[in-house]
Amino acid sequence: MNRRDLALEIATELGFDLVGVAPLTPPPAASRFEEWLGKGHHGSMAYLEAFRERIVDPQKVLSGGRSLLVVGLGHSRPQVDLETQAGPARVARYAGGRDYHNLLGKRLKKLARRLEAEGFAGPWRQIVDAGPLLERSHAQVAGLGFESKAANLLAPTLGPWFFLGELLLGEELEPTGGPAPGSCGTCRACIDACPTEALLEPGVLDARRCISYLTIEHRGPVDPDLRSDLGPWVFGCDVCSEVCPHGAHAPDLSERFGKPSALADSTGLVESWLAPEYNPKAELRGSPLQRPRREGLARNAALFYGNQPADAAQPLLERALEDGSPVVREAAAWALCRSYAGAGTRLLVERAHARETDPEARAALERDLAGS
């Protein structure tokens, strides 16, 4: 057995669903990525600009690296049935269980140790999602799937429902070949279904309009023009993946990442995000839901209740008008002005405006009041 096939066999033994090898060279999407950055489509994700050189040239990520061992791990779950949910709040399916960074990272490290034991030469580095790498483009080169009109990667058996991970290796391995068979053809379901029209054209996503970016990565207020389009999403968004026919028959792999968190089934936990004492690190230990931090979660909760009004939420939003974060205060004011009409409510927001010291939040409260 040659060295490449041995590496692929070990990766498969460790439970990865997809495995392939790509050369550690600039990927095909490098120039498109730089054009995407130049147009500002990355929003406030400044780290993408900061790591630009390493992202387009993976040799800068691992000096002396020769090959990229790319793996995929499925995370498909049954589609959420809103008819049986305790509440309409929604999180992206991948976030329903344990943090995939930890699970995938540990498995990659085990893979690296196995390769070392087999005498694979040179340094190595593992990357899961957050590293400076155009992983979807490398994965396509390795044959794991093909890039879709939704700017994600589609695999023949898993559709869009899988995580990618990589081992950068010092040993040169023969690449595994071209992209997996399949294409989007004339389908544009993802483009047509996107609630915020974030897919500007096939394969081009403007993160500044993407619900996943707005509810997870973005720090600060959400663009007022996009708030009503967030709908029930409080963390991430699955719309483009749910309408994709390639993922319609993916297997149920729920058990891999543990049972879905209670958040996936109960809007009650979203209410707790508005509490000033809420501690995501303690309450969401081991969950990717920690990513937006307390301010982001509280902001998302306030916007959710502006779109999905509930009697129980009104006192929580009124209390949030005095939150320590101006981002949360303004989101609460927007929600109250939008969906909780009444002279008493307006008076509370007017008082909040009068005592607001943050210039941006004060201007936003003026706008909220003017539009109510």
Residue numbers annotated as active site: 129
DSSP 18: E
User: What is d(CA 278, CA 268) in angstroms, rounded to the nearest whole number?
Assistant: 13
Rg of the chain (C-alpha set)? 22
C-alpha 335/C-alpha 368 separation (Å) is 9
Using CA atoms of 256, 286, 18, 107 in order, give the dihedral in degrees to the nearest 10. -100
Say how many C-beta atoms besides its own lie within 10 A of residue 66's C-beta.
17
Q: Which residues partner with 20 through β-bridges?
A: 70
**For the chain, first and last CA: distance in Å?**
70
Phi and psi, residue 294, nearest 5° = -65, -45
**What residues have CB less than 8 Å from 57, skipping those under 6 apart?**
26, 30
Distance CA 252, CA 273 (A): 29
Triad 363, 365, 370: Cα angle to 5°: 100
Strand-pair category, 67-74 with 18-23 = antiparallel
Phi then psi for residue 344, to 5 deg, are -65, -40
Eight-class DSSP state of 260: P
Residue 107 near residue 14, CB atoms below 8 Å? yes
Q: How many Cα atoms are found within 13 Å in the side-chain-facing hemisphere of 98?
A: 13
| Helical H segments across 81-150, by residue range | 100-117, 135-141
Q: How far apart are CA 270 and CA 275, in angstroms?
A: 10
Residue 171 corresponds to which tokens in the numbers above?
Answer: 């040993």
